[in-house]
Amino acid sequence: MEKIVIEGGYPLFGEVEINGMKNAALPIILASILTGDKCVIEHLPAISDVTLALEILRSMGAGVRMINRTTVEIDTSYIKGGNAPYDLVSKMRGSTYLIGAELGRFGAARVGWPGGCDFGVRPIDQHIKGFEALGAKVDIENGYIVANAPEGLRGNSVYFDCVTVGATINVMIAAVLAPGQTVIDNAAREPHIVDLANFLNTCGAKITGAGTGVIRITGVERLHGCTYTIIPDMIEAGTYMAAVAAAGGRIRITNVIPKHLEIISAKLEEMGAEIEEYDDTIIIGRTQELRRANIKTLPYPGFPTDMHPQMSAVLCCAQGTSIVSEGIWENRFRYVDELHKMGAEITVDGRTATIFGVERLTGAPVRAVDLRAGAAMIIAALAAEGRTEISGIGSIERGYDDIVGKLQRLGAHIKKMYCSDENELLDAN
Ligand code: EPZ
């Protein structure tokens, strides 16, 4: 078993470059199925979810060739539908996009039930509502989502009951080859939805309104391959911003889009961080005492839920009492018990956590219960006094490219280690 081991108490200094965005890369990789051509995707993060998405395509008959660490050529000319291995598909939420891609390309889809972080119930009723609006019949059979459109899909309007990133992405993917006009109302507005629309338009789709609450799609006959560069990962950038807010120091974060980080920057400044913004770079430092703050997560441009655990870790040592309300997920607080082991004083009532700032946290053996919870453990450990051992680091590696190496280069005392057969911890590098 591998662990991340951190000696806390060292401020961060230096420069870190942000990778491509996980939650943009996954839909773009799977949407390449629609082209039946060669696509070159650049600026991919080297993370296990991307490796998994490429493995799924390969298993369906796509040609997948890594040109370098962050660039892949995908050829979906000969891909078949309905055959993605259940054990691969069930490992991540992003697999849901296979349904829209297979429906859009083949008029039929058969995809195993998707996995992903456990936040309680993660329904797909809005995805199904969208596919049915386009003329598909959708059934759940033996753990598979089976969709068929015998007469082919046709453009239509769909009004989502709630703002959902996944369903907005899935219906956009399904609709680009559907004859006629599709209007997605109450659409999610995240930057990765705009990135997907830009990728699809580069392949010949006709999508307008991405990034607003109303997305319009005019169906086209076919798409062609393209070369496309993924946008920087705003959550990865926000995670390093939270890390320096917790540990102290001053770092330069390059390859970011400051506009995507506005609400994160504003909240961290409220908490006492000093931030300078440039075209594609942010410099963030924290020298003064951390101040309390309240956070409520909402769909973009609201405060991103995927930054919630990381910010809670920072607030553990802020002066005063903070309130963190989770507006998106039923239960995203499984990380709280792990922070309790480090001396955090947090109470949770439903979707609201009350964080009573403490003088300091102390290192402890903790678990990464999911992707962003794992990032929160790292952030808390960087600020804590003493040694923290984090297990379950596979969750972290799903979404963070070389987080240990990047933090080492910023001066953190962090290592990846593995347990030998004699149960001793050895350096993994
Ligand atoms: C995406 O999940 C992200 N995952 C999540 O990031 C992120 O937390 C979430 O969007 C919100 O921004 C990927 O992009 C792979 P949703 P998704 O559909 O698409 C309800 C990370 O850390 N809902 O926007 O599953 C749902 O229950 C991960 O990178 C329905 O009710 O999220 C939730 O309350 C974790 N019916 C809300 O909408 C549906 O059919 C938002 O879900 C779909 C969703």
Same domain, 188 and 39: yes
Domain enclosing residue 367, as ranges: 2-18+232-427
Rounded to the nearest whole angstrom, what is the distance from the C-alpha of residue 119 to the centroid of ligand 1? 10
- Claim to verify: residue 124 and residue 168 sit in the same structural domain: yes
Question: How do residues 383-404 score in pLDDT, each as one tens digit?
Answer: 999 999 999 999 999 999 999 9
Same domain, 223 and 238: no
CATH code where residue 115 lies: 3.65.10.10
| Phi, then psi, of 367 in degrees rounded to 5 | -120, 145
Strand ranges of the sheet holding 345-349, from the earlier edge strand across to the other edge: 294-296, 321-325, 352-356, 345-349
Closest residue CA from atom 4 of ligand 1? 23
For the chain, the first-to-last Cα distance in angstroms comes to 14
Q: Does the active-site annotation cover 203?
A: no
Q: Where among 169, 202, 229 does a domain terminate?
A: 229
Catalytic residue among 39, 117, 203, 226: 117
Q: What is the pLDDT of residues 47-71, one digit of tens each?
A: 999 999 999 999 999 999 999 999 9
The confidence score (pLDDT) of residue 284 equals: 98
Nearest protein CA to atom 27 of ligand 1, as residue = 122
Shared domain check, 276 and 195: no
Q: Are residues 258 and 374 in the same domain?
A: yes
Q: Which of 124, 36, 134, 19 is nearest to 77 (CA)?
A: 36
With a 6 Å cutoff on the Cβ, whether 309 touches ligand 1 is no
203 and 300 share one domain: no
Q: Are residues 261 and 346 in the same domain?
A: yes
| pLDDT of the residue at 427 | 82
Task: Report helix angle 308-315 to 371-383, nearest 10.
Answer: 20
- Indicate the residue type of 193: I
- Which class for 123: exposed (0-12), middle (13-18), buried (19 or more C-beta within 10 A)? exposed
Q: Is the pLDDT of residue 423 over 80?
A: no
DSSP 150-185: TT-----EEE-SS--HHHHHHHHHHHTTSSSEEEEE
Output DSSP code: residue 319: B
Distance 187 CA to ligand 1 centre (A): 13
Give strand pairing partners of 387: 7
CA of 74 to the centre of ligand 1 (A): 26
- The answer on 165 and 263 residing in a single domain is no
Domain count, the chain: 2
One domain for residues 215 and 278? no
Looking at the structure, do residues 205 and 274 belong to the same domain, yes or no? Answer: no
What band does 35 get if pLDDT is binned at 50, 70 and 90? Answer: very high
**pLDDT tens-digit profile of 98-153?**
999 999 999 999 999 998 888 888 899 999 999 999 999 999 999 999 999 988 99
Ligand 1 atom closest to 371 (CA): 22
Q: Do 7 and 90 have their domain in common? A: no
Distance (Å, whole) CA 191 – CA 310: 20
User: Which protein residue has the closest C-alpha to ligand 1 atom 3?
Assistant: 23
Ligand 1 pocket test target in 122, 184, 190, 231 with most atoms within 8 Å of CB:
122
Last residue of a domain, one of 229, 264, 282: 229
Nearest CA to ligand 1 atom 17: 166
Element holding 371 (H helix, E strand): helix 371-383
Find the length of the chain. Answer: 429
Q: What number is the average pLDDT over the span 215-232?
A: 98
Confidence of residue 186 (pLDDT cuts 50, 70, 90): very high
Whether residue 295 is found in the same domain as residue 216: no
Q: Which residue's alpha carbon is nearest to atom 15 within ligand 1? A: 94
For ligand 1, mutation pick of 138, 162, 190 (most atoms within 8 Å of CB): 162
Where b means 16+ CB within 10 Å and e means fewer, 49-70 reads bbebbbbbbeebebebeeeeeb
Question: Which of 229, 250, 267 finishes a domain?
Answer: 229
